[in-house]
Structure 1
Amino acid sequence: MHASMNYVRMSLELHLFFARIMKEHSFFLETGFTQRDINFIQQADNFRTQFDTLLGEVISISDGAISQEVLQSGEIISPYTLRAEMASSFYTGVQIPTNLTQAEAGLTGGVVMRPNDMLVQAVSSINQRAMSLIAALAQFKSTILSQVLACKMFTNSYPLLIDHIMREAKFYWRMVQKIEARERMNLEAEILEQELFWNRIMAEHSKFIRGLLDPTEDELITTANNFGHEFDQLTAEAKAAIDKSIPILKVTEDSLRATRALRDFKAQGTNGIAECKIRSIIIPLLGDHTLREANHYLRLLKSYRQV
């Protein structure tokens, strides 16, 4: 693939996944504050709408410029996304623009395109603006975490969840920065960085799910707890691979097996929440959110096996 089109494809695919993640983080924060912190509610809502705008721009130039593999992975939208958005909007009163989800459902991929200077410039502009917006959101999350840990604010988000979404914002920023700088990639180092990052994320997802399930959901709590422990071990394995203590292929294979099982658990849970068959305080969009992140990681792991 021509270098310019590879730059376009990598940028658009990253934003299609992560811009949606960021707008949902903003939504979760917005709906978690108390009325005393109306200023923070307004700031979170502003970030949410800015990421809606960014995502809309990305969607408008993505048709035919991204891979079929990404479109089919379930990381951009899942079979549950639209329903989860509608239900979450109903529960909170926050108007979620489902037209973005419908537009993403109509995207096509796999078309070989010639380099287009206007498209490259448009993507570069998006990358630059995205980096500024991501950095501002990461700082906002850091401020919230500091306030919560100092007992100056109450929110229904776990402190670890706030830290978790702050790390995801910083990770997104670094990925955009690497693409925009046209950095030459050290493939092994990139794989290890991704596996260390995402194994920790999967461990924390499992623990959040465990803590947000109703106490009567004994079987689901036990399953989520077991996944948490398993991904803690996989995070340790990824660190060991970085130190050359174990082969990288072992980490990839172990992570692939565990992530596939966790993805299936999340899919069942997301559907169960949508159908009101699971007792929890998990808002439907959060279930779908964690499912898409597992789908994203699965696609990465499958690609690493082919290296």
Structure 2
Amino acid sequence: MLSNSEFVRQSLELNLFFMRIAKEHSIFLEAAFTTRDQQYIEQSEALKNIFSQLLVETIRMSEGIISPEVANSGELVTDLTLDAERETQFYTNIKINPNITRMEASLAMSSPGQISMNTVRMVENLNNRAIRAAQQIASFKSNILQNVLCCRMFTTNYPLLLDHILREAKFYLRMLTMLQRREEFNIAREAAYQETFWNRIMAEHSKFIRGLLDPTEEKLFDTANNFGKKFDELTQEARSLSQDMALLPEVTNRSLKNAIDIRDFKKQGTEGLVQCKIKSIAYPLLGDHVVREANHYIRILKDFKRGKIE
């Protein structure tokens, strides 16, 4: 069973990452609807605001509590996040509060703080509200996906992307539920599960990048395509670990190497989008979003290598 301090720290770190992810999913959904679906545009905006408020609360609770590894990992914000938000707001006219990003960036400079029983109760309450919000956005995404698959709705988001972000919401819910139960993980089993999950996510990121590039960006297209194939292979390798867990260190090492490589590719792409040097139909914030997910995965893989689980 997790101690109070581990429960608080792990909860806050999880929420700092996934609340921002969910906030941005809401933005990407909102930007992709046609004017016909005004009700869905309004629902996306409402979800963005819910996760924005929850994220502000979480940032305030996290000062001096989260680990330096998480604060400095680049999974919460990067040096491109503010620029990517500004450019995406310009393109979409969807309001994105830059002060939340500034607050989150400042966590790396927080002085160590104390965890009291009041902190524990506040985090338990926060997790319960995060669970309700995650359930709400998961239901919303599922509804959109079914409408798209049945040709009742058009959106510029790929059906695979809708399924992709739905799986991320369900993953967030799984982790929140386990934390609320104070469950400790079996490191090997959790590593195999998360490497299967995140390698698939990385493969799909590659395919989305490939599909959002202008047809003239042939070199970037080929690089993205190759990453997609590599992470498809890594996903299969991670899935096969259930038959032979002895292969886990080898799969983890390969996953880490390729996660670093694709992170660097995504970062270069995001810089290109922010600087208007790459022709595509991707928002800069989507680029920064997938960089942060890669940074999150890299940190987790390093923890697995050390025999540690978050």
Fold shared by both chains (TM-score > 0.5): yes
Matched, 1:182 2:178: no
Contact 1:30 1:45 in 2 (8 A): yes
Percent of residue pairs bearing the same amino acid type: 51
- For 2:219, the aligned partner's letter is E
- For 1:125, the aligned partner's letter is N
SS of the aligned residue for 2:152 comes to: coil
Structure 1 CA distance, aligned partners of 2:18 and 2:288?
A: 14
Contact 2:47 2:137 in 1 (8 A): yes
Residue 184 of structure 1 and its aligned partner are, at CA, apart by: 2.5
Within-5 A mapping of 1:1-307: 3-108=3-108, 113-244=113-244, 247-307=247-307
TM-score normalised by structure 2 residue count: 0.96
Q: Tell me whether 211-220 or 104-113 shows the greater mean CA deviation.
A: 104-113
Residue 112 of structure 1 and its aligned partner are, at CA, apart by: 5.3
Contact 1:256 1:298 in 2 (8 A): yes
Structure 2 CA distance, aligned partners of 1:219 and 1:50?
A: 40
Deviations 1:34-82 (A, max 9, x none): 0000000000110010000000000111110100000110000011000
Contact 2:63 2:112 in 1 (8 A): no
Contact 1:16 1:55 in 2 (8 A): yes
Contact 2:33 2:155 in 1 (8 A): yes
Contact 2:23 2:47 in 1 (8 A): yes
Residue 108 of structure 1 and its aligned partner are, at CA, apart by: 3.6
Structure 1 CA distance, aligned partners of 2:108 and 2:57?
A: 16
- For 1:206, the aligned partner's letter is S
Equivalent pairs, count: 306
Residue 84 of structure 1 and its aligned partner are, at CA, apart by: 0.3
- For 2:138, the aligned partner's letter is A
- For 2:97, the aligned partner's letter is P
Residue 306 of structure 1 and its aligned partner are, at CA, apart by: 1.1
SS of the aligned residue for 1:176 comes to: helix
Alignment gaps of 5+ in structure 1: none
Deviations 1:5-34 (A, max 9, x none): 111100000011000000000000001000
Contact 1:65 1:109 in 2 (8 A): no
Structure 1 CA distance, aligned partners of 2:91 and 2:120?
A: 40
Residue 243 of structure 1 and its aligned partner are, at CA, apart by: 2.1
SS of the aligned residue for 1:73 comes to: coil
Contact 1:66 1:109 in 2 (8 A): no
Contact 1:5 1:113 in 2 (8 A): no
RMSD: 1.2
TM-score normalised by structure 1 residue count: 0.97
- For 2:256, the aligned partner's letter is L
- For 1:228, the aligned partner's letter is G
SS of the aligned residue for 1:182 comes to: coil
Alignment gaps of 5+ in structure 2: none
Structure 2 CA distance, aligned partners of 1:108 and 1:149?
A: 43
- For 1:42, the aligned partner's letter is E
Residue 106 of structure 1 and its aligned partner are, at CA, apart by: 1.1
Structure 2 CA distance, aligned partners of 1:164 and 1:105?
A: 27
Contact 1:5 1:114 in 2 (8 A): no
Residue 190 of structure 1 and its aligned partner are, at CA, apart by: 0.9
